Structure formats: structure tokens, C-alpha cells
Structure 1
Amino acid sequence: MLWLKNGKIKFDRQYREQTSQKISWGHWFAFFNIIWAVLIGSRYAFIIDWPHTFFGKLYFFISLLGHFSFVTFSLYLLVIFPLSFIIKNERTFRGISVIFATLATTLLLVDTEVFARFNLHLSSVVWNLLVNPENGELSRDWQIFFTPMPFLLLVQMVFSRWAWYKLRSLERQKWIRHVGFGLTALFIFSHLIYAWADAAIYRPITMQKSNFPLSYPMTARSFLEKHGFLDKEEHQAKINQEGNADAPAIQYPKNTLAYETTAEKPNVLIITVNGLRQDALQAEKMPALYEFASRATRFNNHYTTGLTGNGAVTGLFYGLTANYTDSLLNQKLSSVLVDKLRRDQYQFGLFSATNFNDSIFRQALFSQVRMKQGKKNNESAVKNWQQWFNRRLADTPWFSYISLDLTQPMKEKNYKDLAAEQQAYEQLLKQTDQLLNLVLSQLQVQNQLEDTAVIITSERGYVFRKTEKEQLEYFAPEAIKVPMIVSWKELNTGIENKLTSHIDVVPALMYNLFWVKNPNSDYTLGHNLFDHTQRPTEWVLLADRRQNVIVVPDGTQYHLDRKGNYQKFDRTYEKTSSTRPPLGLFLDVFTQSRSFIEK
């Protein structure tokens, strides 16, 4: 019995010593991989929108060291540390640790390239996209990034062996503890800095929110609001005005635009009726607009670019999808169309039933143009336009934008049932139709219709039995499929059934009216609306701050969030299962989504 007891004690002591050695070796192995992760992670500095302030640059290096040291050591605690107790053989233990570290390092290297191409980090959808057998060329490109694995494996093995045999001397090194405390302090400090920057909306730091994989910077808005250090409404109003501070910088346009010399300067009139549904364009509901549409070109398969005013205007006036809206607000960028009109000294007549309530008008699009203020209703906007039109200089070309709204008048009433809401909507349509008839008739009377490009569309369609918040999250066909009517002397009248979007308006005007020489890719993501050929991409893209919504010609939708997760909806907006995502489609969307991001 004594022999058994002594043997057990000896075994326990040996087990503790071996385990202690493996744990000590694991600390040095984790430190070695922290260095690797930081070196590879430094590549993100050459990919991201580099901050222009000293504090923003300093934060990048603090977060680089703090984030990758924390993630690497966390992986050690979750994987290698438990193995120290489970695997008795030290060679097996070190071999498994080396393989795991090599895989993790390789995935980080691949993620840097994924982020460079798509502005996304690795996810299940992105991973499927990379290994998609349908795109052999892309798959071969990505295989190149796995070629360093043997080299990484060799380096890990060499250090593993060296550290094990030098463990006693390494254990006498005291500086490693100070380094560990320092890296921990940097990690905590980086989150505290970001929490401050998020509350202060300091863009040089907040724009770095998604720089690194597995990064979730701390925010403290709720805490600051609770203790009276932050006004929630004021803070949100500033974000709505200036855009999300984590939006990337963009280069718009990509190159300086050049134009053909031409003596003709046509007039341009754009009218948007927010809340105008596509099925509202009927003879019995809107007779004047229906009759005008019969003498113009009507695009029957047309989509807006967003469910907010900012998102729709981004598509209509910039030729960009709505996921660029925050960047435009941050940088206060004007539209190439508006810049051209100002350069050619057009007269501007801008009128809105909401007094241009959407921030993009004052912050970016028309920031250098005078906008007419008036009562917040459709009648006032049209009346002010009539007065401006009668006083304009007859021998000078003009550009006018009239923004009417159906959603606010509908929100101001309570409806006992769906029938009552529909009846109120139809009455509002008739009133709006009369106002549109005043504008179109005045153009006709003064012989301006022939020399004016007239565009009538909607920001989004009105959805019955939905609150304002629900409407802004509801991508059903009645919300996103909107009328598009264009009257221009060089266009044939009739109905176009091709797939079109708001982003197609700017290239149509820039090419057909102003004779721009640059290719579309220099200033827009759209396809010429007046071109009878099909668009290069057989899909259109809507977006909000959380997700991209892809719509294909048959009405099927794919909702793709910022992390690469997706859902599929059929043409009736019913969620359907999808075991095989359209990876080629997603690749096109990822590519387009970062086309104008500054590199």
C-alpha cells in the first residue's frame, strides 16, 4: 500500500511538472504568434481609409497591438491551454498546437486579401464564394494565398522546438510579464478611446470600427445617456445629419470629367413624389399623370435605391447605391450632375413639400445652391415653383427639382381599417395629380416641354397598414418598385420592361444631355437609362445601414447583411429556403459595393 501511495504521489508530481512545462511553453508560443498576427495585421493599414489626424493614426497602432494580442491569447486560452491538461505526450501537444497556429495565421492572411477586395471579413458566405467551383479562375486566385502554409508551418515548428528546449532560460525572463501587462493595457485603452470617439462622433477613429476581424469595439452611449453626459436625441440628430461616422472615404468621381463642346443646353425638370406606388399610375386614379405618361417613356420594372429619402436621392442624383450615402454626408460631396449644371450656369429652382428635410440636400447635394423655403405641403411647393418659373430668365437654361410627399399627409390621420386608409390615399393621389397637371400644363403653355427633359418618379412606395419605422424596414415590391416616367424629345414613347434603377438616371443625363466623354464607371454605378440594351448586371441593389437588398428580374430578393449572412425572398416577399446561395451574384455585389471606396 505504501508503494502504491508513493507511486501515485510520484505520478501526480510528474504530471504537474509536465503540465506546468506545457503551460509555460504555451505562453511563449502564444507570444510568438502575437508577433506574427501583428505583422500580418499591419497589412490592414494599406487597405483601410487611412486617418488623416495624428490621434487617428495613433489609435490604429494601439488597436492593432491590443486587438491581435487579445485575440491570439484568447485562442490560446480556449484551445491550447485545455490541451495542456488533456494531452500527456509533449510532442503530440506541440504538434497539434503548431497545426492550429498555422491554420489561424493562414486564415488571417487570407482575410487581409478578402478585406482588400470586398471590404468584408471572412464569413460562411464569403468562404463559399472563395472556394466556389463555378468560378474556377477566382478559386485558383485564392489558392495562391494558401501556398505560404508550408513556410508558416516550418517557422512554427522551429520556434516550437527551440522554445521547448530553451524553456528554463526563457522562464527566467522577467520582461515578458511587463509586455503582457502592456498589451492588456493597450487592449483596454483602445476600447475606452473608441467609446469616447463614438460618443463624440470623431470620425478618424470611428471609421476604423471594422478594420480587423473579430473586432467589436466598445461603445458607452447608454451609460453616458443614463448619467447625463450624452443627449440621445442630439447625438442621433447629428448622425442623421452627417452620416454614420464609421463610413469609409470614397473617391467620387474617380477621374476628372471631360465633356464634348455643344451649344445646346437643354432644361431639366425632376419631380419626385414620395409614397407614389407603381400601381397608382392608372387613368382613374391619376388621369393627368397617366395621360402624360402615355406620351412619354414609362419604365415598368423600375426600382428605387433605398427606403429613406437619403438613400433614394443618392441613387437619383449621384448614380450610386444607398450604401454610399453616409460617405457622401461625411465628405459633403456634391453630385457630378449638379456640378455640371453649376459650371454651365444653369438657373436653379429647388422646391420641397418637406423643406428638404432629408440631410443629404443641405449637407451635400445642394449645399452651395439656394433652396426655396415655404410651408410644408405639396400645394406650397408647386405654387413656389410656378412663381419661380414665371420669373426665370427666358434665355438661360434651367434645372428644377420639385419634391412632393404623400407619406406625411397619410401619417397625420388615423384610419379605422384598411379600406379607409386606401380611400384616403386615393383622394391624396387625385390632389397630387392636379398639382402635377399645373406644372406640366405650364411647361406646355410656355412651349418649354419640347426642350426640357422631364423625369417623374418616387423615392419609395407607400405601404398600407405600416408605421413609418416598419415602412423603412419593409422591402416588399409595393415599397421598392416605383414609377419612372421620362419625357425627352430624343426618346421614343412607349413602355420599357427592362430592369432599371434610380442609379441609371445620372448616366443617362450626363451622356445624352451633357455629352460626357468619361466611361460610366468613373462617376456612377448605373447603366444609361435611355439605352435600349439590357443593363450589364441583371440585378439592382437597394441598401440601408444594415444590409444590401439584391433584386433580380423575376422579383426574387436576396438580403445580404454587413457580415455576409443572407436571406432569400420570393417575388411575393415570402421568405424561402436557399441551400445554395448565388455566389456569382454576391461576388458582383461585393465588388460594386466598394467600387468608389478610397484605396
Structure 2
Amino acid sequence: MIRFKKGMFSGKQYRDETSRKISWGHWFAFFNIIIAILISARYAFLIDWPDTLGGKLYFFVSLLGHFSFSVFAIYLLVIFPLSFVVKNDRTFRGLTVILSTICITLLLFDTEVFHRFNLHLSSVVWNLLVNPENGEISRDWQIFFAPMPIILLVQMLFSRWSWEKLRSLERQKWLKAVGIFFTSAFVATHLIYAWADAYLYRPITMQRANFPLSYPMTARSFLEKHGLLDGEQYTQTLAQEGRLDALKIDYPKHSLAFTPMEQKPNILLITVSGLRYDSVSPKTMPKLAEFATTSTQFTNHYSSGNTKSTGLVGLFYGLNASYTDSILSNHTPSVLVEKLQAEKYQFGLFSATHFKESLFRQALFRGMKLAKGKFGNESAVKNFNEFIAARKADNPWFAYLDLDLNISNVSEYGQRLMQMDKLIEQALMNVPLENTLVVVTSEYGLTFNALNKKDLANYFGRDQIQVPLLVYWKDLPAGIEKGLTSHTDLLPALMKNVFNVQNPFNDYSQGHNLFERNGDDWVLVSNYRWNVLVQPDGTQYHIDRKGNYKKFDRTYQEQSSERPPLGLFLEMFKRENSFFDK
């Protein structure tokens, strides 16, 4: 009988102790929710702060909802099970304090990572910052672990105080109401974002990546299925205005200053969409190859992206392609186009596709009259020749000739190159070369690999991103330049050598002066997801917005690489985010 009662007592004691640990855990989780929210309020000073009241209110709702849910999720997944497993209350509270200290320290660390690189913590980013091989960098970042003992002390003090005052705290009734408030904020965060995503409300959608581990809910498919959203119109609007999470752009960083121009050369820019790096040869394009012998030919040249729009961003803005959506949504003008207008250049803009890319009408040539007529390369070249014939010798002009190979299968490639070669010859025939700077290049090359649309969007093989670049100007020596160059290097060269800009390059570009360098150490090719570092030997290092990492050799074969080039990635992060408005 006595043995039976002892067993009953032991079971009741276990339940009481477990219940007390669970109750204490609620208060300890609430305490850490408050700490997490206070630390995370720093993101308000790091993000692209919205202009509208709705956007500002959403930030605070999402701040409360996201971090209250995140902390409580850790409690449910880790601390709550420990309440049943660890019998000793001191050991249980000690483990909880250690876990919460680590999580809060990582959150503090993440705010600084986001401040510097616009990325949240991942395994690659972690290795990048604390790797002992980067001694100076590692020591710099270890400073952010200095508050860890203070955080640990605060956690220990609250742990002991709340355990001793638990009976008094349990009589408080307001914690339940606070829990309902935080739950409502979490639900509201996702419902509001789903609405904003469906109705293209950018002050909210641009906050998608504000916080670590944040994945806001979208409901496009549901709304489209029930007839509440026009999917075709939605896709078209995104193509015109850029992705919804695009940030504001600060371009140029400072007003540009110029010295007077002694002479104003004409400028002709010819782009041939789909022209590969190996296309310009005496066999495939004899006339263009002949023109190349009188020009500066950059043979290790890369586009800024793997599509037409992303390549144009590098050429006209001097920026990497990750800014494409920001330029579209903010209708950002090019400093080159603005300077041409200020110098009273006459514009001749001709396109085989009638400038169908959104970048032309939304930003680059926004508000300008674009030539109309028949579609096709022949029509564009004919209109260009008529423009040249009508020019007076003393009036400087800028002409942009946008051509397109438009190939549906590989067998047409050689024939189309010969046709394009003749058209370019016709375009150059009547150009006064003695006072004209001519640039011939491509926004991207054609790949003959059988890829679906999704895979093609993230394909960065040499056939897609390495393109020809020919520059003819009387002030440049003819010859072959084998140094690594990028589309982003052309704009600084024009602004410095033609228009006499006085500002440093990093005020208006991420490239270098194409005319004054022997090649870059690396160039950056991008799209909305991936940043690709290309080295002179063709080796590529890929890293996406979530910190995923890949390495490819010159032939685009993926290589095993456990250790990314940490120093290069640090340089890339600094350059890549330099023009986002924060």
C-alpha cells in the first residue's frame, strides 16, 4: 500500500514539475520575443523604407508577427519537448538560456550582415565572414559576438527571476491577450502580403526579404482560379514594371560634373541580339571581321546578363543586371542618355523588333519618340541609313541600331550570320568614321543546348554570356585586347573619354574605364536570382540570394568546391549592392 502511494506521488510530482517548466517556458519565450523585436527594429534603418502609410504600417505588423511566431516556433520545437525530457529544472533552464543566447546573438549578427551585403545569414555567408583564413575580416566580424556574454547574463537573470516569481506571474491574465495579439499580427502579415502581391502594391511587396526566415504567403493561383485575378494581365504588368520585390535605386549617387567638350563625336551603338563570342570571323561574318581589324577588338568580353534587358542595363547604365527590375519599377533614366540630351545630340533610334523590351519604353527611352515602320532587320537598317543621309556634318548625333538574329533552329545560324554581316556593312557604309565612335556588340549570345524556359533563365554558359565587342574610334589603337572586360565598362569609358565627367566611376557605374585598363580581375554577370563571378580563365562562381553556391569551369561543367572564393565574394557583395537606396 505504501509502495503504491509512493508511485502515485512520484507521478504527480513529475506532472507538477513538467507543468511548471512549461508555464515558465511561456514567460521565457515572451521575454525573448520582446528582445528579438527590439533588435530587429534595426531592420527599419536598413531596408528600402516605404513611402506610403500602408507600407510603413505593414513593416511594424510584419515585425511583430514574424518574430513573435519565429521565437514561439523555436519554443514549441525545442524547449517544449525538453520540458518532458530533462527532469532537473536547473539543467532545463540552463539549456534554454544557452539556446536563446545563441539565437539572439545570431539575430544581432544577421542585422549587420544584412546592412553590409543585403543578404541574410546562410552557410556560405557564415563561412565567408568567420573563416580563419581571412584573418583581418574574421577579426572584424568577431566583434559582433562581444555582446554574447551580456546577452547570456540577461537571459540568466530573467530565467532565475521568472522561476522564483512564477506563481505570481501565473496570476497575470494579460499574457493570453498578448498571445492573441501576436497571432493576429502573424496572420495579418501573410494576408496583407498576399493581397499586395495580387494587386501589385509595391510598398509592401518590396519588403519580402526584410527579415531572416521570412516567406510571406502569396495567393495568385487561388485568386486566378476563382476569377478574381487576370493572370495574363498580371504577367504582362510584371514584365513592364519589374518584379514586385525590386528595391529603390540611388543612381547616380551624386550629381555629375563635367568639363566642356572640345569636340562632340557622333556615337553609333549597334547591338545584335544572339551574336555569340565566336561569331565574328572571316568565314562566318567576313565584312564585320574586316571592320574588326581597324577597331579595338575585346575578345574576352562578357555581357552583364543572360537576356536582352539585362545586357542593356550594363551597356546603358553601367550597372549589373540585378538592378533591371529596380530600373523598370522606378523608371530610372540612363546618365548617358541624359548627357546626350544635355549636349543637344540628335537621336536616331531604330529597332528590328520596335523596342518591344519593357526597358526601352519604361526607362531608357521613356518619353522619347521611337521610330515606327515595318518589323525586321532590313527595315531598321534602311531607316538608319535614311537618318544618316539627312544629318548635317556640324550636328552631332547618337544612333542606336537594335538588330536581332531571330533564329528558331541551329541550322539557320550560319545563314543568318551572313545576312547580318551584309546588313551591318550597309549600316556602316555611309557613316562618317572620321568623327564617329562606333560600338558593335550583343546583349547576349545564343545557346544551342536544349533547355526549358526555367533552365534557360538561369543558364550562364559562355555561349550565352560571352559576346563580341568592337570599338572603332580615331583615338583608340586598332588591335586585339585579351583582358577580361564587361558591358559595365563601356559607360565609364564614354562618360570619361568623350564627355569629360569629373566624378569617380563608382558615382554612376559599377564598371571600369574600358579604354584605360588591361582587363578586370573578375566581372559580374547577373539575373534576378544569381550573381555569377567570372574570372579571366573562364571559371565561374555562382551565388544566389539565399546563399546557395556553385562552381563551373570554362566549359560550364559543374565542379566540386566546398570552399568558395571568400575574398572575391566580399568584393562582389560590396559592389553589387552599392546603388540600392537604403
Measured in 2, the distance between the counterparts of 1:554 and 1:66 equals 48
Q: Alignment partner for residue 419 of structure 2, among 423, 428, 431? A: 431
In structure 2, what is the equivalent of residue 418 of structure 1?
A: none
- Look up the SS of the partner of 2:369 in the other structure: coil
Measured in 2, the distance between the counterparts of 1:534 and 1:569 equals 21
Deviation of 1:465 after TM superposition, in Å, equals 4.5
Identity in percent: 60
In structure 1, what is the equivalent of residue 508 of structure 2?
A: 523
TM-score computed with the length of structure 2 as normaliser: 0.98
Q: Aligned pair count?
A: 581
Q: Alignment partner for residue 559 of structure 2, among 557, 560, 576? A: 576
In structure 1, what is the equivalent of residue 464 of structure 2?
A: 479
In structure 2, what is the equivalent of residue 593 of structure 1?
A: 576
Q: Alignment partner for residue 434 of structure 2, among 450, 453, 457? A: 450
Deviation of 1:474 after TM superposition, in Å, equals 2.3
- Look up the SS of the partner of 1:280 in the other structure: coil
Measured in 1, the distance between the counterparts of 2:180 and 2:458 equals 45
* 1:156-175 Cα deviation digits (max 9, x unpaired): 11111111111111111111
Deviation of 1:4 after TM superposition, in Å, equals 2.2
Structure 1 residues 199 and 510, CA gap change in structure 2 (3 angstroms):
same
Q: Does 1:555 align with 2:538?
A: yes
Paired AA for residue 415 in structure 2 = Q
Measured in 2, the distance between the counterparts of 1:244 and 1:478 equals 26
In the alignment, structure 2 segments of 5+ residues that lack a partner are none
Measured in 2, the distance between the counterparts of 1:371 and 1:466 equals 35
Paired AA for residue 566 in structure 1 = Y
Paired AA for residue 485 in structure 1 = L
Instruction: Note the aligned Cα RMSD (angstroms).
Output: 1.1
Measured in 1, the distance between the counterparts of 2:35 and 2:180 equals 19
In structure 2, what is the equivalent of residue 227 of structure 1?
A: 226
Q: Alignment partner for residue 450 of structure 2, among 463, 466, 470? A: 466
Q: Does 1:353 align with 2:341?
A: no
CA contact (8 A) 2:55 2:204 kept: yes
Q: Alignment partner for residue 499 of structure 2, among 514, 528, 532? A: 514
Q: Does 1:544 align with 2:547?
A: no
Q: How does 1:10-409 map to 2 (within 5 A)?
A: 10-406=9-405, 408=406
Structure 1 residues 468 and 374, CA gap change in structure 2 (3 angstroms):
farther
TM-score computed with the length of structure 1 as normaliser: 0.96
In the alignment, structure 1 segments of 5+ residues that lack a partner are 416-420
- Look up the SS of the partner of 2:481 in the other structure: strand
* 1:267-311 Cα deviation digits (max 9, x unpaired): 100000001112111112111101100111100000011111110
Paired AA for residue 86 in structure 1 = V
The 10-residue stretch of structure 1 (367-376 or 121-130) with the greater mean CA deviation from structure 2 = 367-376
- Look up the SS of the partner of 1:278 in the other structure: coil
Measured in 2, the distance between the counterparts of 1:256 and 1:393 equals 32
Q: Does 1:495 align with 2:494?
A: no
Measured in 1, the distance between the counterparts of 2:250 and 2:346 equals 28
Measured in 1, the distance between the counterparts of 2:136 and 2:517 equals 32
Measured in 2, the distance between the counterparts of 1:566 and 1:425 equals 34
Measured in 2, the distance between the counterparts of 1:344 and 1:266 equals 11
CA contact (8 A) 2:33 2:68 kept: yes
Measured in 1, the distance between the counterparts of 2:33 and 2:447 equals 53
Deviation of 1:133 after TM superposition, in Å, equals 2.2
CA contact (8 A) 2:300 2:466 kept: yes
Paired AA for residue 356 in structure 2 = N
Paired AA for residue 459 in structure 1 = E
Measured in 2, the distance between the counterparts of 1:157 and 1:200 equals 47
- Look up the SS of the partner of 2:256 in the other structure: coil
Measured in 2, the distance between the counterparts of 1:133 and 1:12 equals 51
Deviation of 1:393 after TM superposition, in Å, equals 3.8
Deviation of 1:459 after TM superposition, in Å, equals 1.1
Measured in 2, the distance between the counterparts of 1:94 and 1:323 equals 46
Measured in 2, the distance between the counterparts of 1:19 and 1:273 equals 72
Moved over 6 A (4+): none
Measured in 2, the distance between the counterparts of 1:316 and 1:214 equals 35
* 1:25-80 Cα deviation digits (max 9, x unpaired): 00000000000000000000000000010000000000000000000000011111
Deviation of 1:225 after TM superposition, in Å, equals 1.0
Deviation of 1:467 after TM superposition, in Å, equals 5.5
Q: Alignment partner for residue 565 of structure 1, among 548, 554, 561? A: 548
* 1:102-144 Cα deviation digits (max 9, x unpaired): 1100000000000000000000000001112232222111111
Measured in 2, the distance between the counterparts of 1:467 and 1:299 equals 29
- Look up the SS of the partner of 2:278 in the other structure: helix
* 1:342-386 Cα deviation digits (max 9, x unpaired): 011100000111111111110001103221122221001101111
Structure 1 residues 43 and 352, CA gap change in structure 2 (3 angstroms):
same
Deviation of 1:532 after TM superposition, in Å, equals 3.5
Measured in 2, the distance between the counterparts of 1:520 and 1:29 equals 52
Paired AA for residue 384 in structure 1 = N
- Look up the SS of the partner of 2:434 in the other structure: coil
CA contact (8 A) 2:492 2:513 kept: yes
